[in-house]
A and B are shown apart, each in its own frame.
Chain A
Amino acid sequence: MTDAAHQGQETDANVDQKLKEAYFTASQGQLIWARFRRVRSAMIAAYVLVFLIVCGLFAPFLSPYDPTIAGRNKDYTNGAPQIPKFCDENGCSWRPFIYTYERTRSIKTNFRWVSEENRDKRRYLTFFPKGADYTFFRIPFLRFDRHLFGVDEGKIHLFGTDSGGKDIFSRTLHAINTSLAVGTIGVLIAFVLALIIGGVSGYFGGFIDSAAQMVTDAIRTVPAIPLFMALAAFVPDEWSSETRFFFISIILGFIGWPTLARRVRTHLLSERNQEYVLAAQLCGASSSHIIRRHLLPSFTSYIIVDLVISFPYMVLSETALSFIGLGLKDPVNSLGVMLQNVTNADVLLNYQWYFIPVIFFITLVLAFVFVGDGLRDAADPYSDIQK
């Protein structure tokens, strides 16, 4: 055996040792992340999700126009999507361009206004043009007027326009933003309630637990949509769209907690008989201290997983609620509001591009579900052993 080979073996053993050490000293989060990365579907979903979240967060910058009536293009209502091109029969260009659309009305079109593209007049895409003012996250000094792209003349509508001439691309991005915000607020409220109720019921057990379980079960028994509807009917018409938005998110949170609370309770019930809890109790720690400092950290990762899993349900509820006209309303753009627009035959036959937001909606929910599922599998410490 040569010296070099001997050394090589030793380092291999070293690396192996290090890996083992890393495995045994890894935090719960690191272990979950390592397992999560191995599932390809979950990773793809995670990339899609991050992409959509970024789209939502930077919606005002990424979208060329204001999504409300202020940004409407009154010369291009119900207009088809305009797809930028590099080449056409008149030659190529290094800058992507779209055509100019002209509205005409003649005996040929039965005297209806029809948009016709004029292939000779190109409009070139510009990047970082000045446009409508916007602020990020409603912080006054984050006020900008540059948008990611636009055209040198007129307006560009990647996903077409709706009957009011509003840009569907801008509306979709803002809708993702709103739906994510509603989901986040809803999940946070549900989470706090679930932690308090599930925590108390799981930690103390006994009579308190039975009582809390009964209340939880009773609330689970009430059909949620009628409950939403009753609560939403309570919203006065004169409320501003913003107040409405917060109210709807709060309702979603107040109804979404029982499932989460159940999970927290189950975790706590199995953890509270562990030795470290007894040790803390013997040291004279108060109940709230034990719950906060010992029990909750023991399953933080599971809670995060639960939050991700319950997120799409919040988004779905908001959509359903807005769809029947009890949730958010027009100046606010949410995915539910956008879906409302696809409900007539006219749209299916003539204006299929109204369905583009639907694709985004389905992608968003699917991405969340796949990520949640991957996380759940990754958070289960026994998932390795089964295979």
Chain B
Amino acid sequence: MLQFARFTLVRAVMAFVTLLFVSLIVFSLMELVPGDCAERYLAFKNTQGLQITTEDIDAERARLGLDRPFIVRWTTWITNAFSGEFGDSCILRVNINHLLGDKFLISLGICMTSLVLAYLIAVPVGIISVTANSPILNNTLRFVSYLGLALPNFLLALLIMLFFTVQFGESLTGLFSSEFRDADWSYERVLDFLGHVWLPIFILGWSATAFAIQTVRALMSDEIGKLYVTAAAARGVTGRRLIMRYPARHALGPIVNSLGFDLNRIFNELPIVALILTLTETGALLIEALARSNDQQLAGAIIFLLTASIVALNFLTDILLAVVDPRVRRSILGN
């Protein structure tokens, strides 16, 4: 137990260090974006008819603390970020937490649901495709899962959306109907949300499933040819029992291990799908912040939250793997 606690602690520290490192990358990237908050704010004032001098910009910089050295600013930013405080958005002049609200959780929920859905479909389908030994089934599955890769999400989103608009005259965009957009959470609002959210989940899940099927198939076909499977078969274990008890359990390890990176890939697709379906969640905000308004504070906060959830998921899967996989457990507990 003590060793296990130590393992958890080491993993937690490593996750923390990774997060620090990633935050450094993110923060430096935000610095790369030309111009800073002070300039942008005062450029805005300028359009309002105020005369702006370089002294004003410098004063504003000093007020925002932008004149301090890079490392100091990063330290402040990261300490605040860990306490959940991201400061004000550069352009919108609103507290970022207020701006994000439940949007980040909604995005995370959408991505996690797609991920879970993807593996719920992919694990049985992948196992069947390897064990069924039918070339037709195998080739069809391969083609479908490659199509999931080759047919980009945004194209799929676009086609489905246009199809519905043209056929049923009903637009599927957004996450809420207009009357619920700014309402408080209520039973009707949840229903309305569910009526809209299936499309992004389906679209994100589509390519995620394709990917997952490929992973499961590759791992299963690797494991199924190994000697321990033959040995088990020789001992008289057959059928489903053989598959589930031996190769499937082995194949599961690497899958659990890569869940975090799968989430990463789904997050990747989110902004683009959000753009097409005009979702009002973090993906859309991120595009807005990066592509349109160069809002470093907002973009940095969102990317930080994304990576934090990926790192957290990676940490959780590491622990989960140690719990379920006796080989990993043994390597931790030292025999």
Contacts and interface: CB of A to CB of B under 8 A. Distances in A.
Contacts of A227: 29, 303
A71 interface: no
Contact of A221 (B166, B225, B276, B310): B310
B175 to A, nearest CB: 19
A225 B272 contact: yes
A227 B264 CA distance: 12
A230 B264 contact: no
A369 B149 CA distance: 9
A166 to B, nearest CB: 21
A348 B160 CA distance: 11
A319 interface: yes
B200 to A, nearest CB: 15
Contact of A349 (B17, B166, B269, B314): B166
A345 B272 contact: no
A233 interface: yes
B268 A229 contact: no
A106 B157 CA distance: 38
Contacts of B26: 222, 230
Contact of A218 (B22, B34, B162): B22
A224 interface: yes
Given A223-B264, A234-B34, A369-B150, A358 B18 contact: no
A366 interface: yes
A221 B290 contact: no
Contacts of A219: 25
B165 interface: yes
A257 interface: no
B78 interface: no
Interface in A246-273: none
B21 interface: yes
Contacts of B310: 221, 223
A323 B146 CA distance: 21
B183 to A, nearest CB: 29
Contacts of B272: 225, 320, 323-324
A116 to B, nearest CB: 26
B59 interface: no
A185 interface: no
Contacts of B139: 41
B290 A226 contact: yes
A362 to B, nearest CB: 5
Given A218-B21, A233-B33, A324 B166 contact: no
B18 A226 contact: no
Interface in A45-74: none
Contacts of B271: 225-226, 229, 324
A221 B268 contact: no
A339 interface: yes
B119 interface: no
A320 B142 CA distance: 23
A214 B306 contact: no
Interface in A325-349: 325-326, 339, 342-343, 345, 348-349
Contacts of A218: 18, 21-22, 25
Contacts of B307: 221-223
B320 interface: no
25 contacts: A217-B18, A218-B21, A221-B22, A221-B264, A221-B307, A222-B26, A223-B268, A224-B268, A225-B268, A226-B267, A227-B29, A227-B303, A229-B286, A229-B299, A230-B33, A231-B32, A234-B33, A236-B34, A320-B152, A326-B290, A339-B154, A362-B150, A362-B151, A369-B150, A370-B146
- For the complex of A and B, the 6 pairs showing the least CB-CB separation, nearest first, are A365-B150, A229-B290, A230-B29, A225-B268, A223-B267, A234-B32
Given A222-B26, A232-B291, 7 more contacts: A218-B21, A221-B310, A223-B268, A230-B32, A230-B33, A312-B149, A324-B271
